[in-house]
Amino acid sequence: MTMHAQDPDLKEAIGAQADAAFATVQALYRQLHQYPELPFQEHATSARLAEALEHLGLEVTRGVGGTGVVALLRNGEGPTVMLRGDMDALPIKEETGLDYASTRTAETESGTVPLMHACGHDLHSSCVVGAAAVMAGLKDQWSGTLMLICQPAEEIFGGARAMLEDGLYERFARPDVILGQHNMPALAGTVGHRAGGAMAACTNLAVTIHGAGGHGSMPAQTVDPVVIAAHVVTRLQTIVSREVPPEETVVVTVGKLHAGTQANIIPHSAELEINIRSFDNALHRQVVEAIERIIRAECEAGRSPTPPEFRVLNETLALHNDPAAVERVRQAHGEHFGEANLYAMPRLNGSEDFPYFGNAQAGGFGGEDIPYVYWFIGATPEERWQATPGNSMVEKMRHLEMPHSPYYFPGNEVTLRTGIEAMAAGALAYLG
């Protein structure tokens, strides 16, 4: 019998395959968690994931976009569905107390840093492998091509573009739909969806303001970049209040301001790093241009001898889930998990480089845009959830560890199982 997302037998079939693969996937997850690696340094991580996918019989290619992995499961005629998981870690010292907690460090330009999977990318990539196992076990019940991506360097918004620039769609396949997910501190076993704008665009901008340094007792003989930088920081706050429509959400944060070495020395330069977030790509570009305009004007007003320098550290697009695709995947998840275990996801100011895979035109990679769905899986065990104060999901999450915390751990059995089945059910909504 051909099965579809609304067929009750499909839930049992997915569950049975997830049961069969779970112990292996959980062991993989714990290994990835214990040995995290920084962006574009995921050599051992990608090798483990590639081996796991090869063991399932998929066509696997390593080293795409640096350390990325691409796997194909071809199964006759039909659409191509892409499942994406990221795999890089963060420079954070783990404090979870797990018996497989990370104790690893890495050498960077700033020195030795501790490493931790504090955002759950080890969970995401393990779920991709688990979904591949489920789909490989159900090949007689679907038709098409399953394309699986283990992506590097999401934390610095670099991996998606690196894989695209390495010919991802030209070398392998151009998907008809792209599916991805992220953990969050909601109740484990639940799945959240949001159509349209779901996550913010982000630009991290480094700025150098030039002055003419000298003795602190003779400011008239200098051009003080600290004073110019102080005016910049204050004036940038007027962008949101005076240039952005009130109904829009934009954040402009000066997260770094560094100048000088001691009190009686006026330095030659000041360094700023600015974080910009918004939910509209066109408006986002206007805000970045306004920041550059203001900084140039303040430098001219302050007699800066050299124009300011701007350098984009990293950036990504706003994440806009395709409404029709969201509804299709949400229906499949509702049939699989039950409507009571679905929730309406609030819009997040956090950012992802996942949109580059779908927003081919906006990302500068040519071709038509591809519909995508990015959903969220809960990561808080029920006992902890029930003991957490608050009457709503938003209230409870204020009291829970968030991603990028040294205490954050999303990899409980329920969340891992949910992530595997959510990806498989989503894929079968198109391939079944």
- Kindly report the number of other CB atoms within 10 A of residue 299's CB atom: 24
Q: Using CA atoms, how far apart are residues 352 and 317, in angstroms rounded to an integer?
A: 8
Q: Using CA atoms, how far apart are residues 376 and 412, in angstroms rounded to an integer?
A: 15
Distance of alpha carbon 301 from its chain centroid, rounded? Answer: 39
Say which residues have a Cβ less than 8 Å from residue 89's Cβ, sequence separation at least 6.
36, 37, 38, 102, 115, 116, 117, 118, 119, 121, 122, 155
Q: Using CA atoms, how far apart are residues 199 and 348, in angstroms rounded to an integer?
A: 5
Q: Which of 42, 86, 154, 322 is catalytic?
A: 86
CB 231, CB 302: distance < 8 Å: yes
- Could you tell me the CA-to-CA distances from 416 to 32, 90, 148, 214, 380 in Å, in that order? 13, 20, 17, 59, 11
Which residue in the block uniquely carries the two structure tokens 């969970």? 123
Q: Is 165 a catalytic residue?
A: no
Identify the CA nearest to 141 among candidates 361, 384, 425, 418: 425
Q: Using CA atoms, how far apart are residues 36 and 16, in angstroms rounded to an integer?
A: 30
Distance of alpha carbon 143 from its chain centroid, rounded? Answer: 29
Task: Return the DSSP state at 347.
Answer: P
Q: Indicate the pairing of strand 111-114 with strand 342-344.
A: unpaired
Q: Which of 88, 94, 154, 155 is catalytic?
A: 155
Q: Is 86 a catalytic residue?
A: yes
- Could you tell me the CA-to-CA distances from 333 to 10, 21, 180, 203 in Å, in that order? 12, 20, 13, 33
Which residue in the block uniquely carries the two structure tokens 């050299």? 306
CB 66, CB 37: distance < 8 Å: no
Catalytically active residues, by annotation: 86, 155
